[in-house]
Each structure stands twice: as C-alpha cells, then as structure tokens.
Amino acid sequence: MNHLISIFNPLLLTNALKNSFSGLTRATKSERAFQQELVLLIVGSIAAFILTDINVERAILVGSLAAVLIVELMNSAIEATIDRVGTELHPLSKKAKDLGSAAVFVSLISAAVIWLIILV
C-alpha cells in the first residue's frame, strides 16, 4: 500500500505537471512547426464540430490532429537532444533528425487520410 501512495505522491504529480506545461510553453513559443500544427488543431477542432454531428467522428478527427502535435513534440525532443550532443555533422544525427521528421510527415498524412475517409 505504501508503494501505491509513493506512486501517487501529490508533490511528484505536481512537479510532473509543471514540467509538462513548461514543455508545452516552450514548444508554443519557440517551435514554428508546433505553432502551425497547434493552429491546425484549433481550426480543425472547430471544423470537426461544424462538419459532423457524430461524436465518435469528432473524436477521431480531433484525435488525429492531436496525434500530429504529439509526434511533433517527440520530434522536437529528438532534435534538441541531437543538438545538445553536438553541432557537427554526423550521419547518425542526420538519421535521427530525418526519422523524426518522417514521423511527423506520416502523422500528417494519416490525419489527412482520416479526415478524407470521414468527411468524403
């Protein structure tokens, strides 16, 4: 039981929440792609509620755009880590950044396909 209490320590949860908001704030202020995709999420969420009256479809449409933001955050984390390690050109650094970028691209294509399937 004490283990469960330590897992759900309010102080730890509060610190984790602060770190999460710090990351979101940093991404919103400094990551251009995140800013663009955040606007896409906001506009897309409004559009989802206008274009369909089925809640499951709305959830899928909005969720697909939220997934893009999640992948973008992960890509930004990869890029920051690579930049922290070093700024010199290295094939593995390029590979990591390219794969992160590809993940964002795949998430955007997936979101577009989901929107087409549901709305067309």
What pTM does this model have?
Answer: 0.89
Report residue 69 CA to chain centroid gap: 3
Q: Which domains does the chain have, with CATH numbers?
A: 1-30 (no CATH), 32-119 (1.10.287.3610)
The residues carrying an active-site annotation are 72
Q: DSSP characters for 44-68? A: HHHHHHHH---HHHHHHHHHHHHHH
Between CA 31 and CA 80 the distance in angstroms is 11
From 80, 109, 110, 78, select the one nearest 95 (Cα to Cα).
Answer: 78
Tell me: the pLDDT tens digits for 18-70?
999 999 999 999 999 999 999 999 999 999 999 999 999 999 999 999 999 99
Residues 6+ apart with CB under 8 A from 93: 82, 85, 86
